[in-house]
Amino acid sequence: MAGRTPGRVIIPTNVSELLIIAETIITKHEADGVDSPLHAMQDYKWEIEGPKVPVCTKNHIDAEKAAKSAEKLYRDRDIDLVSITKIVQNTAGLLKSIYPKNPKKLGEYGFEVDDTPRPKKP
Protein backbone atom coordinates (compact mmCIF):
# COMPACT_ATOMS: atom_id res chain seq x y z
CA MET A 1 0.00 0.00 0.00
CA ALA A 2 1.42 3.32 -1.03
CA GLY A 3 1.98 5.95 1.61
CA ARG A 4 0.80 9.50 1.37
CA THR A 5 2.99 11.70 -0.81
CA PRO A 6 3.93 15.15 0.44
CA GLY A 7 2.55 16.66 -2.76
CA ARG A 8 4.18 19.15 -5.02
CA VAL A 9 3.23 22.79 -4.79
CA ILE A 10 3.18 24.37 -8.21
CA ILE A 11 4.16 28.03 -8.20
CA PRO A 12 3.10 29.57 -11.52
CA THR A 13 5.64 31.44 -13.59
CA ASN A 14 2.85 33.29 -15.37
CA VAL A 15 2.64 36.74 -13.75
CA SER A 16 -1.15 36.98 -13.89
CA GLU A 17 -1.59 33.59 -12.23
CA LEU A 18 1.02 34.41 -9.57
CA LEU A 19 -0.72 37.68 -8.70
CA ILE A 20 -4.09 35.89 -8.40
CA ILE A 21 -2.56 33.46 -5.90
CA ALA A 22 -0.98 36.35 -3.98
CA GLU A 23 -4.40 38.05 -3.75
CA THR A 24 -5.95 34.79 -2.47
CA ILE A 25 -3.21 34.42 0.13
CA ILE A 26 -3.69 37.99 1.35
CA THR A 27 -7.45 37.50 1.64
CA LYS A 28 -7.03 34.27 3.64
CA HIS A 29 -4.25 35.75 5.81
CA GLU A 30 -6.37 38.80 6.67
CA ALA A 31 -9.45 36.65 7.33
CA ASP A 32 -7.46 34.47 9.74
CA GLY A 33 -6.18 37.56 11.56
CA VAL A 34 -3.91 36.82 14.52
CA ASP A 35 -4.47 33.08 14.04
CA SER A 36 -2.87 33.11 10.57
CA PRO A 37 0.09 30.74 10.38
CA LEU A 38 1.73 33.17 7.98
CA HIS A 39 2.73 35.40 10.91
CA ALA A 40 5.53 32.88 11.49
CA MET A 41 7.33 33.96 8.32
CA GLN A 42 10.64 35.67 9.05
CA ASP A 43 12.22 36.87 5.79
CA TYR A 44 9.09 38.30 4.20
CA LYS A 45 6.00 39.63 5.94
CA TRP A 46 2.59 39.79 4.27
CA GLU A 47 1.93 42.96 6.23
CA ILE A 48 4.78 44.61 4.27
CA GLU A 49 4.59 42.81 0.92
CA GLY A 50 0.80 42.44 0.76
CA PRO A 51 0.02 46.10 -0.03
CA LYS A 52 2.39 45.87 -3.00
CA VAL A 53 0.24 43.22 -4.71
CA PRO A 54 -2.61 45.48 -5.93
CA VAL A 55 -0.08 48.04 -7.18
CA CYS A 56 1.88 45.32 -8.96
CA THR A 57 -1.34 43.94 -10.44
CA LYS A 58 -2.34 47.37 -11.78
CA ASN A 59 1.14 47.89 -13.24
CA HIS A 60 0.97 44.47 -14.88
CA ILE A 61 -2.45 45.18 -16.43
CA ASP A 62 -1.26 48.59 -17.66
CA ALA A 63 1.90 47.03 -19.12
CA GLU A 64 -0.12 44.37 -20.92
CA LYS A 65 -2.39 47.03 -22.44
CA ALA A 66 0.63 49.10 -23.49
CA ALA A 67 2.28 46.06 -25.06
CA LYS A 68 -0.85 45.32 -27.12
CA SER A 69 -1.07 48.96 -28.13
CA ALA A 70 2.61 48.96 -29.08
CA GLU A 71 2.16 45.84 -31.22
CA LYS A 72 -0.66 47.51 -33.15
CA LEU A 73 1.38 50.69 -33.60
CA TYR A 74 4.35 48.68 -34.91
CA ARG A 75 2.06 46.81 -37.36
CA ASP A 76 0.59 50.11 -38.58
CA ARG A 77 4.09 51.61 -38.87
CA ASP A 78 5.39 48.64 -40.83
CA ILE A 79 2.61 49.01 -43.42
CA ASP A 80 3.77 52.54 -44.28
CA LEU A 81 7.47 51.80 -43.78
CA VAL A 82 7.65 49.61 -46.90
CA SER A 83 6.76 52.44 -49.29
CA ILE A 84 8.79 54.99 -47.33
CA THR A 85 11.88 52.76 -47.56
CA LYS A 86 11.37 52.37 -51.32
CA ILE A 87 10.94 56.11 -51.95
CA VAL A 88 14.08 56.90 -49.93
CA GLN A 89 16.05 54.29 -51.90
CA ASN A 90 14.69 55.60 -55.22
CA THR A 91 15.47 59.18 -54.21
CA ALA A 92 19.05 58.23 -53.43
CA GLY A 93 19.36 56.56 -56.84
CA LEU A 94 17.88 59.54 -58.65
CA LEU A 95 20.11 62.04 -56.83
CA LYS A 96 23.19 59.92 -57.52
CA SER A 97 22.32 60.05 -61.22
CA ILE A 98 21.77 63.84 -61.08
CA TYR A 99 25.01 64.50 -59.17
CA PRO A 100 27.36 61.74 -60.41
CA LYS A 101 30.47 63.91 -60.00
CA ASN A 102 29.47 65.33 -56.61
CA PRO A 103 27.82 62.59 -54.51
CA LYS A 104 28.41 64.64 -51.35
CA LYS A 105 25.50 66.78 -52.57
CA LEU A 106 23.23 63.99 -51.31
CA GLY A 107 24.26 65.04 -47.79
CA GLU A 108 22.00 68.07 -48.24
CA TYR A 109 19.10 65.62 -48.41
CA GLY A 110 20.13 63.85 -45.20
CA PHE A 111 22.06 60.98 -46.77
CA GLU A 112 25.41 59.87 -45.42
CA VAL A 113 27.84 59.48 -48.29
CA ASP A 114 30.91 57.29 -47.86
CA ASP A 115 33.29 58.02 -50.73
CA THR A 116 36.27 56.10 -49.38
CA PRO A 117 37.44 53.36 -51.76
CA ARG A 118 36.34 49.87 -50.82
CA PRO A 119 39.14 47.52 -49.84
CA LYS A 120 39.87 44.86 -52.41
CA LYS A 121 38.73 41.36 -51.57
CA PRO A 122 41.61 38.91 -51.01
0.85 surpassed by pTM: no
- What long-range pairs does 29-34 form, CB within 8 A, spacing at least 24? none
What's residue 66's pLDDT?
A: 97
Q: From CA 26, how far away is CA 18, in angstroms rounded?
A: 12
pLDDT tens series, the chain, 122 aa: 566 777 888 899 999 999 999 999 999 999 999 999 999 999 999 999 999 999 999 999 999 999 999 999 999 999 999 999 999 999 999 999 999 889 888 999 999 988 777 788 88
What's residue 3's pLDDT?
A: 67
